[in-house]
Amino acid sequence: MDPEVKNSNFSEIITLRPLEVSDVDNLMVWASDERVARFCPWEPNTKREQGLDFIINRAIPHPWLRAICLNGKPIGSISVTKNSGNDACRGEIGYNLAWEHWGKGIATKAVKMAVKAVFEEWGPELERVEGLVDVENVGSQRVLEKAGFYREGLLRRYVVFKGRSRDMVMFSILCSDVENCSL
């Protein structure tokens, strides 16, 4: 199991652990919410079968995708995808959180935990973790800034997202930026 962190704002415990099939009903809380899906590459999933398919075919096989749990209950997910070949020094982080938990520092704590874990698990080959955030997703930009990421710049019309060309903001963090990270 991944480490636990006590949320300084509450007496609640934040943990990261692999998503399991039994988490499907909790997953549906955030996966079916339009507010959560707005900046995600998927449309709101309203069918339990879609949630099961995601867990079985994407989450479980993913090398580093975890449930963000509050007191043991999944309330979101976070992943880091490591690049390969000449880009193996980089990984990309992505996360989502049930709307009712926004603005409480939970995503920031989860990002810090994930970054530290992947730097430790993947060793010196991983030099940086990047986060690409839609220019309109100010909340997610703030999460990365509070987690110690550096805003590197604006990538104009960088992706086509849900049928529209979108500007993205690039963030990154190096192991040397992370407290107690010594690779």
**Residue at 179 is within a domain:** no
- Per-residue pLDDT of the chain (183 residues), as tens digits, is 445 555 555 568 999 999 999 999 999 999 999 999 888 887 888 899 999 999 999 999 999 999 999 999 999 999 999 999 999 999 999 999 999 999 999 999 999 999 999 999 998 899 999 999 999 999 999 999 999 999 999 999 999 988 899 999 999 999 889 876 765
- CA–CA separation, 58 and 65 (whole Å): 9
**Residue at 14 is within a domain:** yes
pLDDT in tens, 149-174: 999 999 999 999 888 999 999 999 99
CATH of the domain at 123: 3.40.630.30
Range of the domain at 73: 4-127
**Residue at 173 is within a domain:** no
Per the structure, the count of domains in the chain is 1
**Residue at 44 is within a domain:** yes
**Residue at 160 is within a domain:** no
- CA–CA separation, 18 and 182 (whole Å): 25
Structure tokens at 101: 């938990």
**Residue at 25 is within a domain:** yes
